[in-house]
Each structure stands twice: as C-alpha cells, then as structure tokens.
Structure 1
C-alpha cells in the first residue's frame, strides 16, 4: 500500500479477545480500528431474546470465573462502562441421584463439610493454595507473578498434569467429592483419563473459592459492551457488519490482529504467512462441539435438593464414572445417552433476565465436532432427573446445534467453543510451536483469539498478550 497507514493497528473480530487487544493498543496511544462481521460486538459474549420477549439468554458464555479473575479485565474501569458482576450465594451445585447435592461454597471449609468422609481430604487438596488463588490465576492466565506461598504454584502444576480420574481417586473415597471434582474437570472437554484434565478441575475449584463464579448483570453482552464503550473513550473505532474475506479488505495499517481461529486465518491471510506456519495451522485440531439450549420458564427449576437454588451453575452428571463415560464417548465421536450437562440459572440472581415471576435457564452438553444430532430430549431428561417437574415449567425453548453455532460465530468451528482442542500438545503449541505464539509468522500479523494461550473462556488475556506483542513491533 502506498502512503502513510491510516491506523497503527486493525483488529479483525470484536469478540472479547479482539476488543481486549484493541483496548490495550489504544491505551498505549495507538490508533485502532476494529472490524466485526456481525451487527453487534461480543463474539462469544453476546446476549439476546431467543425464546420469548423479555427473556434474555446468553448466546455463548454465561458464567465467568476467569473473566472476574482476569488480571487484564481487573485493570480496566469496566464498571464505569456498565459492567456489574453478580455473585450467586454459591458458585456451583452438583446434584446426585440420592437426592442430595454437593455444593461448591466460597469457603473451603463449608464445601468440605458437605463431602462426608472426604472433608479432610478436600481441605488438604484445596486449602493449601486457595489463599494464593489470585497469583495462581494470574499464572494460569499467562501473567506471571511470584506466589505468596512458595510451594503453591509448584503444587498446582504437579497436580494439574495428572488426569482428573487419577487425582480424584488418589484423594477421595466418596462419590460426592469425586463427582464435584469431575464436573469441574469436564470443562476441559477431555476424557477424565487424559493428562491435564485435572488442571481444569483443580483451577476452577480454586477460583470458585477465591473469586466465586459470577455472572454479569443484564447478560454476557454487557462484558463486550463495556469493553467497546471504554475503547471508544480511548479513541478506538469499531465497525460492525463488515466481513473480512482477504487482506485487501483491510484499511491501511501497520499491524493487524486477528481474533479468529486458524481456519479463518488461513482463508484470509494464508498467502502472507510462511509455508511452515501455514502447514502448522493446517494441522491444528478442533475439539468437541456443544449442543446448546435456552429455556424460558414459568418458575425456578424444581430441584430435588433445594440447595441447588443457591448456585448460579449446576453440573448434571452424577458420579465420576458417569461423567467419564459421557466425555469418553464424545472424544470417540459418539453421543452419550446420559450427557454431562452444564446449566446456568442466571435469573435467580439477576432479575433483568426475565419478566417478574419467570425465569431462564441456559444449558449445553458436549457432542462430537460437527454433530447434527438433536440432543434436546437427552438434555431435558438429565435436568428432569434431578429436578422432577422441570418439563412442566417450560414456556419456550431454543436450540443450537454445532452448525448453527458456527453460523452465528465463525470461530465456533464445528461447535468448538474453546478455539481448538485443549490437550497437552495444543496447550504447549497453540496454535503452533513458537517462541511467540501470537505472531502469525509474517511481519505485522498477529493472532489474538482463543486459539492462542491461555485458550478459551472470556478473560481477554489472549488479546492483551497479542497486543503486547504487536506493541513491540509498533514502537
């Protein structure tokens, strides 16, 4: 291109990571333009009335322990731009077939007291590092600090590389503690027998004790809207409804950051990338997808154990063995008859989500990547199993299979909400083996999506760190 660049940086994609990258660049004095294909910003953090008027549902993420703990988000004045976090009384409930539920409380001791024979074991596992959770979270999210307790990070690392089954069976004897841990570990989309699955069970539990599992008032859209609003005060521009098909579609720029996954990066900028980097992107593996449901309800979910009403999130999968079977089936390309279901009941704590006296529920289960199987009956059966009478509360529902999810957000390839499989290989080399995982192997081109470290979830750290990398080029 001839002449002076119009922008220091162009960011393609206005998901949380794209917006985070733009904010970091703008607050360091760079001129920034964000281009978004959809008519509204947010990517995996959008909300809409998908069932009935007045019922607000999250289209992507719903509960945000990592977003609340994010060192980058916590450094921004997002509260001044409309973001308000709500903390449910308890972060998580995990009901069992015997009618009782294990409750992840903010307190390690209160959580342990509900785990029967495993109370002391739970205190030993979680208590020795829970006080150091802020530093552990910072390290997990890629912002190294020195732990207050010298051994805490080392202990976390040693535990995390194990499989969830190995860790749970080595520490617990009862089904409640094992099931509670397995439900957290299943957020990894990995079989419970695979290394690294324990990391998710362990870190999400620690985050629950230290930060809770909060939800944003008004819907996850408010996270994206707050980032966009703050970006505007810094002079950044956002243009929606613009789909970038190639590098020639970009305005003049010095650097470009892509909040996309490897598949889209190859399509848009493949000719600009080095052959070695292109080959690495072609080998990048996507993980299992999800089948998602939104419910408009005539009242709260009638849980058999009413303690579940204290929690913003409910895991439905009973025992470690059942969750293990569900996740192993998906990993092998099959559909579990009793799928592990992640459910959020935001309207119990946020009255803006539904008309007075009514409620919402958000749920999904894991399915093979690209699955077209309708999991509606299986998800509803799992909820009914632990909440008899649930069906009678349904006023309306909306579903999205993997292809519908990808249509709504091109980054959800085959329904994969994590931007790629999160096994050991792709945690270390994400998206490719590189000293700088954010550099796309071409001058001035960067990747800032969940396909870079530290991976999925709404926390903005991928975008923040990609922006820091780009700033070294733009200095």
Structure 2
C-alpha cells in the first residue's frame, strides 16, 4: 500500500478531504487548475486596485458552523470571523426592514406575534447545533444519533416553503424573512424540500451567526492550505489535470475529485465503466447566478437604517414577490424583480476597500446558462430599497453564468450549488454509495455529493471518512 493520495481541485471540499487524509497518515498532493487555490472561495481585485471582492461565496454561516472546520486550528492559520451588528436584514417596500439578530431572544422579540413560532422552529436546532450539523451535513443517516431532533426538523423540512410559512407565521414580514432564507435552495418555493435550507440557515443564525472572513473568502482556503502544509501536504496550483495520466508518475493509492460529476467522467475515462460515466454525464446542473461586484464611493444609502447594521441582505420584497421570482427561475424564465442576495462586508471589515470606500457583492438566480444581461434589473432592485445607489458606483464587474464557468470549471452554466436540488438528486447523488465510484481508488468529494452546496468542507471530509473506513 502506497498510502499516497491525490486531490484534484483545491476548493474547501478538496482541501477538507486532503486534511482528513493527511491526519490519517497519508502523503497528500493537491492539484489546482487555476493559479490561485480555493475554487469558488477566492478573493480578487475585480474592479479597482485595493478593492477586494469575493469571486464566489461571501457570507459563511455554514463555514463558521461546519463540524469539521470547527475541529481544526484554522485561527492559527489566519482565519478570523467578522460579524455585522445584525446577522441579516430584509428590506420591505414600506421603508422598514425585518432584522434577524444572532441572539434568539432579541429576534423573537423583534418578530412580535411570530416570535414564539420562530423560537419553536429554530431553538432546538440552534441549541444543539453541533449534534444537528453532524446529522444533516452528510448522507442521511439510517440510524440517527438524535432521532427526536432530526424528526422535528424533518417534518418541517419536507414541506414546501409556501405551506410552512402560511401555517407557521401570521405576519407577512416574517413570511418574507423566511422566503429569503428558503430561496437559497434554488427551488421554487412551492416545491417539496424548499423549506429545508431555510430552516437550517435560520438555526445557524442563532448558533454561529452569518459572518465573513476578515480580508475575504480567500482566507478560508488559505487557512485550510496552511494547516494542510503543516501536516506535510503539498499543493500545486496552475496544473490542470485533464486525465489521470497527468498525475505524477509515482501514482496514488487514492484519488479524490473536487469537481463536477461530468469532469470526473472525463478525467477518469476508461477507469470507470461506460454506464457509470453516462450516469455522471446525465447529472443535471442547477440554476445559475448572475453576479455583480461593485466598488462604491460610500455605503449604500438604504431607506431602512437597519439595513446598515447587517453584512448580508435579502432583496426581493414580500413572500409573494420572492415566490414569483423563484418560480420564474424554476420554469426557465427570468423575473423583472429578481430575488437577490447582497453582501456589504466592508461596513465591518476595513481590509476590503481603501479607507472610506466600500465593496458590494450581489447576485440573482437565473436559468442555467442564461445569456440575458441582468445588470439593469439588479440595480433597479437595489434602488427600490436604496434610492441613489447608482450615484455611489465607482466601478462594477459583471459575471455572467458563462464568466463564472470560465473562471471555475465546476460552476457549470453558473451553477453554484453542485447540481439541481430536485428530490431525486437530493437523495440520489451521482456516485455509487454517495462518494465512491466503481473503481475503489476513485472518489468524488465535491458539492455534487452530500450534503451539497455551501462552504463547509463536509463533502470532502465525508468522502475521506468513507475511503478510510473502506481501507480499514
């Protein structure tokens, strides 16, 4: 046994797999096609010098709450979390905003008549976050260690968001807040399972908050890489692996792919049966995103002052407005008033922009591979809640779905979630036995495996865990 592992791709999942294998005593080599490691978790000067923009992920509740990341000494390798004064703000057309605080008691107070229902939904999960996260951030367990906790979550999570919001909350304000949470699923809000991610994100707010890494998302893979190197692992950037023959001649005992399923099929080639390669090729990507990064002369002039307290905002208005936007996306159309996720990290992290200036990150959902320019619709939505926004813009950098894929081959058609989150693809991910393939030395560890998209590293950790268990 050579006890040597190769990792193709240096996103958080690839680095998590690399660390888990290095901790088990394996020699590890990571190969990254781009010049900068991190996959979609990179920070770049996309607009003007001195303005640091996150290429992909920006706000990281699941990274801060990741059971695997929390077990690692990442603070010793430069990772520091920055929180806003509030976790999240959701502006409405009446000039106010629904605010979600990290403190559950304060959130319940602010939500008024819906406070008790919000507490019932989130408190058991937030209070037992470590146990809950270990249960859900991986393949669904046949014998859960905390069955009552998981059952309480599951009864709500299976419901469409439209049903859960109507049955749980009386106020349209709270329903709008939950719609923004649920829309992270990239599902129509009347689809089964669309409530699941909304509940998880709501619980994570009160467990770990919605922080950003100081200096940018790049700090997460940089810290992972620093720890991996301390374990003896090696990372090579600027080396695209097009076939297994491109790996070092010494060969590997195990190879992990932090890639999309179709790239696994292409790189592995004849090492995998033709029928399995076809299955990987048929795996459906999810909807895409259209993203804009802004350099601003001053903070966004939100009508609702509460919006200036939060790093992250959901822009879309009422539950009905957001439902219409996400339904259009699910049907392959675009919305004139798209639901958007916006981050304004420089309000709280001075490392992001020159003194007195600011960066903003925003995207809306679009059909996979959409070629329609959404710049005007996005800016119109921001102006809806912050008149005068355009007057603050110094520069903008537009990333279409094609641009995102060109910069990171895993983002097929602009898909940032690792594949369509249909019921079938949620429970039946593309590989054999979750992460394994018919070749016992090849594993998929990307966000196309359980638990799916998000910066948490659990796909990589779970894949390594399976590989080590099978080797033993």
Conservation of the 8 A alpha-carbon contact between 1:182 and 1:323: yes
Match of residue 457, structure 1, among 445, 454, 459: 454
Q: Could you tell me how far apart the structure 2 residues matched to 1:310 and 1:273 are? A: 51
- Map Cα deviations across residues 336-382 of structure 1 (whole Å, 9 max, x no partner): 10000100010011000011111111000000000111111111111
Match of residue 436, structure 2, among 439, 443, 452: 439
Conservation of the 8 A alpha-carbon contact between 1:419 and 1:456: yes
Shift in Å, 1:112: 2.5
For 1:251-290, list aligned pairs within 5 A: 251=248, 252-290=251-289
- Map Cα deviations across residues 81-115 of structure 1 (whole Å, 9 max, x no partner): 11111121211100000111111111223223223
Q: Could you tell me how far apart the structure 2 residues matched to 1:379 and 1:111 are? A: 29
TM-score by length of 1: 0.95
- The corresponding residue for 1:448 is 445
Q: Could you tell me how far apart the structure 2 residues matched to 1:278 and 1:284 are? A: 10
Shift in Å, 1:473: 4.6
Shift in Å, 1:281: 1.2
Q: Which moved more, 1:298-307 or 1:136-145?
A: 136-145
Is 1:167–2:164 an aligned residue pair? yes
Match of residue 120, structure 1, among 96, 116, 130: 116
Is 1:240–2:243 an aligned residue pair? no
Shift in Å, 1:474: 4.5
- The corresponding residue for 1:293 is 292
Q: Could you tell me how far apart the structure 1 residues matched to 2:107 and 2:225 are? A: 38
For 1:71-470, list aligned pairs within 5 A: 71-142=67-138, 146-147=145-146, 151-251=148-248, 252-432=251-431, 434=432, 436-470=433-467
Q: Could you tell me how far apart the structure 2 residues matched to 1:373 and 1:113 are? A: 42
Match of residue 35, structure 2, among 33, 39, 46: 39
List alignment gaps of at least 5 residues for structure 1: none
SS in 2 for 1:242: coil
- Map Cα deviations across residues 41-67 of structure 1 (whole Å, 9 max, x no partner): 000110011011111000000011110
Shift in Å, 1:128: 4.3
- Map Cα deviations across residues 213-255 of structure 1 (whole Å, 9 max, x no partner): 1110010001011111111111111111111111111121111
Q: Which moved more, 1:360-369 or 1:421-430?
A: 421-430
What is the root-mean-square deviation in Å for CA atoms of aligned residues?
1.5
TM-score by length of 2: 0.96
- Map Cα deviations across residues 303-359 of structure 1 (whole Å, 9 max, x no partner): 111111111100001111111110111111111100001000100110000111111
SS in 2 for 1:420: coil
SS in 2 for 1:440: coil
List alignment gaps of at least 5 residues for structure 2: none
Shift in Å, 1:410: 0.3
- The corresponding residue for 1:60 is 56
SS in 1 for 2:138: coil
Q: Could you tell me how far apart the structure 2 residues matched to 1:128 and 1:36 are? A: 40
Q: Could you tell me how far apart the structure 2 residues matched to 1:116 and 1:468 are? A: 44
Is 1:8–2:11 an aligned residue pair? no
